[in-house]
């Protein structure tokens, strides 16, 4: 059921972010987050209320002096059935000094972007699970027939994207290519985008400070011993202003 789980440190908090394998069954998805310093001793629930149809959760966390690892487990409740992810080790083999080094790298990258090269952007995470949109799907084939559907914004999932997430990023135009079309020519722009948070995937959207919007195509993550400290989107493509994504 679970495709990916990421654990991201911020100032005195942890962000848990996850993706499911593509699910098309209609209904609500309920999640609970559990933590443990040793899975053999059991897990403790973190959230008070269930997380409904969302993909991330942030909670206060201070690094415990005597703990070298933290394990996270996510519970999915769907159609009265429960599914548990495999325990995800936060630091894998990172000891405390290594984890603090990774956290410091993240802090310095965010500080440099805030003061020098970055800009405030927003991230639209594309929905990959949840209720299918019925307004634009062919009932017999399931194919999306309206890419400008205001119910799913062309994604096929009701709502299309999650709420916008504010973050810092560097955006650098890298390429312009003339492409012939039926109505003349267009000049799609390609950019390199770098950011630390949130974890992004193909199909997500980056919105820059001028409201230009970019589709995420591929992601290369900088990893320290299994711990993500940065992301490079090397060929993000500018979305034409006529795209339905600009309606969000």
How far is Cα 76 from Cα 33, in angstroms, rounded to an integer? 9
Tell me how far CA of residue 12 lies from CA of 16, 28, 65, 96, in angstroms: 13, 31, 14, 15
Q: For the chain, how many residues are written?
A: 248
Contact 231, 196 (CB under 8 A): yes
pLDDT at 179: 54
- Collapsing DSSP to helix, strand or coil, 210 comes out as coil
pLDDT at 66: 44
Q: Torsion-angle region of residue 116: left (phi > 0), alpha (psi -120 to 50) or beta?
A: alpha
Task: Give me the residues of the chain with pLDDT under 50, please.
Answer: 64-67, 92-93
Q: Read off the pLDDT of residues 137-146 as tens digits, 9 standing for 90 and up.
A: 777 777 888 8
Alpha helices in the chain (DSSP H): 96-112
Look up the pTM and report it: 0.70
Radius of gyration of the chain (CA): 20
Structural domain boundaries in the chain: 2-90, 111-126+161-247
Please name which of 73, 62, 63, 69 lies closest in space to residue 16, comparing C-alpha atoms: 73
pLDDT at 245: 94
How far is Cα 16 from Cα 59, in angstroms, rounded to an integer? 8
* CATH fit for domain 111-126+161-247, picks 2.20.25, 1.10.357, 2.40.10, 1.10.10: 2.40.10
Please name which of 11, 231, 226, 196 lies closest in space to residue 109, comparing C-alpha atoms: 196
Non-local CB neighbours of 208 within 8 Å, separated by 6+ positions: 119, 121, 169, 171, 214
pLDDT at 76: 94
CATH topology of domain 2-90: Immunoglobulin-like (2.60.40)
Contact 70, 113 (CB under 8 A): no
How far is Cα 211 from Cα 170, in angstroms, rounded to an integer? 15
Non-local CB neighbours of 197 within 8 Å, separated by 6+ positions: 8, 10, 15, 165, 167
How far is Cα 85 from Cα 106, in angstroms, rounded to an integer? 27
């Amino acid at each position: 059921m679970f495709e990916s789980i990421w654990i991201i440190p911020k100032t005195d908090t942890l962000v848990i972010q996850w993706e499911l394998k593509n699910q098309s069954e209609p209904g609500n998805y309920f999640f609970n987050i559990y933590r443990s310093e040793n899975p053999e001793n059991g897990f403790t629930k973190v959230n008070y209320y269930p997380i409904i149809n969302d993909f991330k959760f942030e909670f206060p966390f201070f690094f415990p002096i005597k703990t070298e690892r933290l394990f996270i487990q996510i519970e999915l409740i769907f159609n009265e059935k429960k599914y548990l992810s495999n325990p995800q080790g936060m630091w894998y083999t990172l000891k405390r000094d290594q984890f603090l080094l990774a956290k410091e790298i993240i802090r310095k990258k965010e500080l440099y972007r805030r003061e020098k090269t970055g800009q405030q952007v927003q991230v639209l995470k594309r929905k990959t699970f949840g209720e299918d949109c019925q307004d634009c799907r062919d009932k017999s084939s399931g194919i999306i027939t309206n890419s400008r559907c205001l119910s799913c914004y062309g994604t096929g999932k009701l709502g299309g994207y999650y709420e916008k997430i504010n973050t810092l990023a560097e955006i650098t135009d890298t390429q312009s290519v003339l492409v012939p079309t039926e109505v003349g020519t267009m000049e799609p722009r390609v950019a390199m985008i770098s950011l630390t948070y949130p974890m992004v995937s193909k199909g997500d959207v980056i919105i820059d400070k001028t409201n230009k919007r970019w589709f995420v195509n591929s992601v290369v993550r900088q990893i320290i011993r299994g711990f993500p400290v940065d992301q490079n989107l090397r060929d993000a493509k500018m979305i034409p202003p006529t795209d339905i994504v600009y309606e969000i």
